[in-house]
Amino acid sequence: MCFLLVNWFFPLLWTTVFIQFGNCTGLDTKQSPTPHTFRFQSTQKCLRNEFYNLNYFQCSPCNEAGDGATNELQPTTDKFGCQCPAAHISVFEKSKRWPTCNELCSNATKPFENCTESELPPMQCSFQYLNSSIVAQSIGSIVLTRANSGSNSSDCNSCNAAYNFHYQDYCIANTLLQPYLHYNAFWQDTIKLKSGSSSRLHFGDLKFVAFFCLALRNDSACQQLANLCVLSHYSMDKHSPCSPFLLTQMSDVVIKYAHAGEQLRALEPFLFYKKGRATRDLLTTTLHLANQTRLEIFSTTFDLAGRLKRWGPLHLEKLNLCPAQRVPTLDLEQQQPELSCQLSLEQLIDLAKREGNDNYHNLYLNFSSNWSHLLHQLPVLIETLTPENQRPQEEEWQLVKRFQLISAHLRDNRMHPNWPPYEDAHKLQLYRSLRYVDRVDLKYTMQAGRRLGLPLLRLSYRHIDITGNASLTQLYPFRLRVHFEQLQQSGTAKLLLELALPLLLLFALVAALLHLQNLRRRRRAELCQTINLLELLLQLAANVALALLITALLLLTLQACVPQRLALLIYPACLLQFVFLAVHLRRASQLELFLIDWERPRSSCEGQRLNLDSSSLCSSVRTYVAESSVSAWRVLFTANAWIRLSCEQRYSSLAQAFVVITTYQLLQRFSQLQSLSCCLISAVYLVTYLLQVLLLRLLQPNPLQKFVDLCSLANISLFSLLEPGYGYYIHGRSPHGFADTDMSSMILQLQREAQNMCGRRGLLIDSDKQVYIILPPRNLRTYLDRLLLPFQRSRNGSMSQTLLYQKDPQISSIDGQVERTSIAYASINRFFCAFIDHAIKDMDYIIKEKTLTEKLFNCEIENYLTENKGTFYIDDALSFSRVLLLGNHLHIFILEILVLLSIYLLTSSLLLGAAIACALNMLMRHIFKNWVRRNVSRKTLIDERFLL
């Protein structure tokens, strides 16, 4: 059987329970910042010389070491950057983040010779001039001034287009923009026209935005470049606004994104997540929440120019496009309903006008850890971005950090007639295409212990071409869903599933093979017979069920599993255990059973004795029933006691169910999650089972020993064969020689036995050992079948064969059947009496004890089994309980807990699961009792009407 697995089951389980309790002494709120986790600091805490870094949500000094040689840098008005004072020249160098501030007239170098601050009033200048540095120590740098370097006078209102680019209020030298002119080649296809040519969108100012971001490290320009990347739907083209981010932020850096003159430094803001293992590790990140029942999501919103528009808590109304519908909440305690609607094209156009491509969102999970406010950036999976994003393999996903709800591409109205704004057709002339989010899915994983998996925002975009056939009444779907899965991809779960479970399954296979080897020896059959292979599969099913249950309980104890994964372990284990227990109990109930009556007659022996008679019994079993002087009630009483014993159990399923339901009701408020509830149910059910078994063993007499004592009082021995070469023997021979007596004589017999005034009860003269595991001689079964042959023929109704064994052919058929039964019973009884008394020359046995190895592995190695000799092993453990429910209580308990957990996982109803488990136990007891009753009647030749 699965003895080895059982021995390791409880120590391993209790060890993990103690580890879990040790880990649960307090909530671990330490969460170290990661590359995607930031400690939030309020802008109010920034000092006068500090700016607020929006990419890290913290205050930083403007004059950091290595960023500038002077201390003149000052925070900008919005506190989101640093700049030089008005009376200074800003010198930008590639190796420094911030410019170096030089006083305006400190160096008498042309064109600033003899200059005074009054000659260059900042408020009256039309341009700011960007040119290469002409100072020796600043070669390769870029200078920002209020004076035109190409003019001999203090000119700040002219910009020669032949040598400069004009962008906003900047006059930029042509040479500075040379490394960034390739961005001008970016055109994005939008729709296909009927002629076959494509309509393309051109980002005309892209080269200027890239220059200010990459060369001058202007934070607003970098934010704008990131927004243009989002607006281009994260275009992977070489000259797209995403190129600098792809080059510096993705793991698989491709050379095609790099250009001469560009520095390969980490570009901010963060826009892309790295692919591969980094993505898988990110999505399995576990965060610890303390006393929170809602997700708190923080959001930042930028306009197209890169300016911060809003930050603060996110309300799901911001992600909802459906008008006048209640949006789901971010409640961690319950699943939220899905929101869906149909939007008309007119509603989408109105929404695009309101948004104006001017809202770009970043989401962060807001939580507290170690007395600090942390923001963990939420990954965004745009399913329509790449084909890999629609695959289940997480490591192939390209996750991003910024998104917009709707974007619109303006139509060139010079090529189309203008419609009056009061006509509906005017709206169709505003845009040539729209792209909007048609599905928003915020999914997060949750496990007991308030451990939250990082939420994932899944977006799906729909592209709409507004062609000549477009109608404002066309409907388009939108869906918003917030849901959670009780999922935990912890290292503990991986260790148990990838290491512990295979080892347990290997252990189960080895145990099944050992059991098969023992069974082959007991059955005296070849190893590769079909029946032995089926037995191997049956025992393997039981061992695998136990291995799966142990794994599931360990996962629950360590809170490293989810209902979906738990169901994959529990459901197969329940089915395997049910099949094993049904077959095993059916086979145990059909064992060969014989009751040996040792009663001696009161009178002298009469009649002819057969050659099987021994000196211990005279003619107590005679040829005719009428001549018998022995009562049959002792045999009937012993048979009924065996039937009652067969359906007794070591624990009460009703008590199990009552305790687990009561405890669950009391602790339900602490176990709202299903995985935690399963852990609580399993723990209570297991503890209740152990307490019942322990208390009943301490407080209640052993029913097995009581049955052995009953056999001695009744002077009846029980001889059973579970296999042709394996069985059990209970020696019930009374040391007084008779048991069919009055009460006073019986009391006197017990007193004599207590005072050692008579023989011992054991099979050996000087021993009280009454229970044995037997390996009978190989020809015992053959001889026994020969004795039963006449009775079996008469029971099958063959009259021609029946008459051969009738003493008087004229007696009625009923009397003849009784006579044949009596003859068969007498023959078998005399045969077993002679065999036990060593009175048969060609059939004998020896008595010995099992070795420690044989006891441990439930096998018989050192036996003396031949055709004529068998072995009786002294059995102090009362192993005959294995053919009763008492000896299979662990298998029954495993089935009950598997059924309970299966029903609870299916229906979330503990009451229904407990009811089904109890009903299954009662049904099993009833069926097993009927099986045993019929088998006792058939094998002991007792009429079924005399059995309870």
Tell me the two tokens of residue 600. 């001696």
pLDDT bucket at 444, cuts 50 / 70 / 90: confident
Q: Which residue, 650, 601, 658, 597, is CA-closest to 830?
A: 597
Say how far residue 941 (Cα) sits from the centre of its chain.
54
Q: What is the pLDDT of residue 758?
A: 66
Q: What is the pLDDT of residue 622?
A: 40
Burial classification of residue 71, based on how many CB atoms lie within 10 Å of its CB (0-12 exposed, 13-18 middle, 19 or more buried): exposed
Asked if 511 contacts 543 with a C-beta cutoff of 8 angstroms, the reply is yes
Q: What is the pLDDT of residue 193?
A: 45
Q: Estimate the crossing angle of helix 530-557 against helix 889-907, to 10 degrees.
A: 60
In the chain, pLDDT over 70 holds for what percent of residues?
A: 75
Question: 285: Cβ–Cβ under 8 A, 6 or more apart, which residues?
Answer: 34, 376, 453, 454
H/E run at residue 125: none
Average pLDDT over residues 94-111: 67
Asked if 521 contacts 564 with a C-beta cutoff of 8 angstroms, the reply is no
Q: How far apart are the first and last CA of the chain?
A: 31
Q: What is the pLDDT of residue 10?
A: 46
pLDDT bucket at 100, cuts 50 / 70 / 90: confident
Lowest mean pLDDT among 77-91, 356-370, 557-571, 923-937: 557-571
pLDDT above 50: residue 623: no
The radius of gyration computed from the CA coordinates of the chain, to the nearest angstrom, equals 45
H/E run at residue 587: helix 563-589
Average pLDDT over residues 634-652: 93
Beta bridge pairs of residue 462: 436
What would the pLDDT profile of 808-832 be if each residue is shown by its tens digit?
444 455 566 677 777 778 888 889 9
Cα separation of 726 and 871, whole Å?
A: 10
pLDDT above 60: residue 506: yes
The amino acid at 820: R
The amino acid at 760: R
Residue 768: half-sphere exposure toward Cβ, Cα within 13 Å: 7
Buried/exposed 773-802: b ≥16 CB within 10 Å, e otherwise: bbbbbbebbeebeebeebbebbbeeeeeeb
Tell me the two tokens of residue 763. 């099979």
Specify the 3-state DSSP secondary structure of 878: coil
Cα separation of 431 and 464, whole Å?
A: 10
Beta bridge pairs of residue 260: none
Q: What's the residue count for the chain? A: 948
Residue 691: half-sphere exposure toward Cβ, Cα within 13 Å: 10
Cα separation of 472 and 56, whole Å?
A: 44
pLDDT bucket at 483, cuts 50 / 70 / 90: confident
Question: 74: Cβ–Cβ under 8 A, 6 or more apart, which residues?
Answer: 49, 62, 82, 83, 84, 85
Cα separation of 120 and 129, whole Å?
A: 13
Q: Which residue, 97, 131, 98, 96, is CA-closest to 112?
A: 131
167 φ, ψ (degrees, to nearest 5): -140, 115
pLDDT above 70: residue 725: yes
Tell me the two tokens of residue 724. 């042709």
Average pLDDT over residues 244-273: 66
Query: CA of 119: how far to CAs of 85, 124, 150, 174, 176, in Å?
Result: 17, 10, 17, 27, 27
pLDDT above 80: residue 148: no
Q: Beta-carbon neighbour count of residue 530 at 10 Å?
A: 7
Lowest mean pLDDT among 470-474, 543-547, 627-631: 627-631
Lowest mean pLDDT among 264-268, 540-544, 613-617: 613-617
What would the pLDDT profile of 586-615 be if each residue is shown by its tens digit?
999 999 999 998 886 544 444 444 434 443
Higher-confidence residue of 316 and 626: namely 316
Tell me the two tokens of residue 163. 């040598």
pLDDT above 50: residue 466: yes
What would the pLDDT profile of 397-432 be if each residue is shown by its tens digit?
889 999 999 998 887 655 455 666 767 778 888 888
Q: Which residue, 91, 83, 160, is CA-closest to 127?
A: 160
Tell me the two tokens of residue 83. 């700049």
- Best-predicted range by mean pLDDT (101-110, 166-175, 526-535, 611-620): 166-175
pLDDT above 60: residue 933: yes
What would the pLDDT profile of 11-35 be if each residue is shown by its tens digit?
444 444 433 433 333 333 334 445 6
Asked if 515 contacts 532 with a C-beta cutoff of 8 angstroms, the reply is no
Q: What is the pLDDT of residue 936?
A: 93
pLDDT above 90: residue 116: no
Cα separation of 160 and 168, whole Å?
A: 15
Nearest 5°: the CA angle 4, 10, 12 is 90
pLDDT above 90: residue 705: yes
Tell me the two tokens of residue 538. 């049956």
Q: Beta-carbon neighbour count of residue 768 at 10 Å?
A: 12
The amino acid at 301: T
Cα separation of 126 and 478, whole Å?
A: 48
pLDDT above 70: residue 96: yes
Say how far residue 489 (Cα) sits from the centre of its chain.
8
Domain-by-domain residue ranges, the chain? Answer: 202-256+263-271, 277-487, 703-793+820-877
Q: What is the pLDDT of residue 571?
A: 94
Tell me the two tokens of residue 859. 């096998």
Cα separation of 720 and 711, whole Å?
A: 14
Q: What is the pLDDT of residue 750?
A: 76
Q: What is the pLDDT of residue 611?
A: 38
Average pLDDT over residues 534-557: 91
pLDDT above 70: residue 264: no
pLDDT bucket at 478, cuts 50 / 70 / 90: very high
Mean model confidence pLDDT for the chain: 79
Beta bridge pairs of residue 730: 718, 771
Q: What is the pLDDT of residue 29?
A: 33
What would the pLDDT profile of 286-337 be if each residue is shown by its tens digit?
776 654 566 788 999 999 988 999 998 888 888 889 887 777 777 766 667 7
pLDDT above 80: residue 733: yes
H/E run at residue 512: helix 501-523
Q: What is the pLDDT of residue 533?
A: 85
Cα separation of 90 and 171, whole Å?
A: 15
- Best-predicted range by mean pLDDT (185-199, 558-572, 699-713, 760-774): 699-713
Q: What is the pLDDT of residue 821?
A: 74
What would the pLDDT profile of 779-798 be if each residue is shown by its tens digit?
888 888 888 776 666 665 54
Asked if 283 contacts 273 with a C-beta cutoff of 8 angstroms, the reply is no
Q: What is the pLDDT of residue 382?
A: 94
Q: Which residue, 92, 155, 149, is CA-closest to 121?
A: 155
How, if at all, do strands 297-302 and 360-369 pair? antiparallel
Average pLDDT over residues 266-294: 76
pLDDT above 60: residue 712: yes
The 3 state secondary structure assigned to 147-190 is: CCCCCCCCCCCCCCCCCEEEECCEEEEHHHHHHHHHHHHCEEEE
In the chain, pLDDT over 90 holds for what percent of residues?
A: 29
Q: What is the pLDDT of residue 580?
A: 96
H/E run at residue 674: helix 674-699
Question: 550: Cβ–Cβ under 8 A, 6 or more apart, which residues?
Answer: 5, 9, 12, 13, 504
Assess whether the previous peptide bond of 111 is cis (omega < 30° from 0).
yes
Cα separation of 601 and 630, whole Å?
A: 7
Tell me the two tokens of residue 223. 């934010």
CA dihedral 85, 86, 88, 90 (to 10 degrees): 80
- Best-predicted range by mean pLDDT (368-382, 421-435, 636-650): 636-650
Entry pTM: 0.57
H/E run at residue 597: strand 592-597
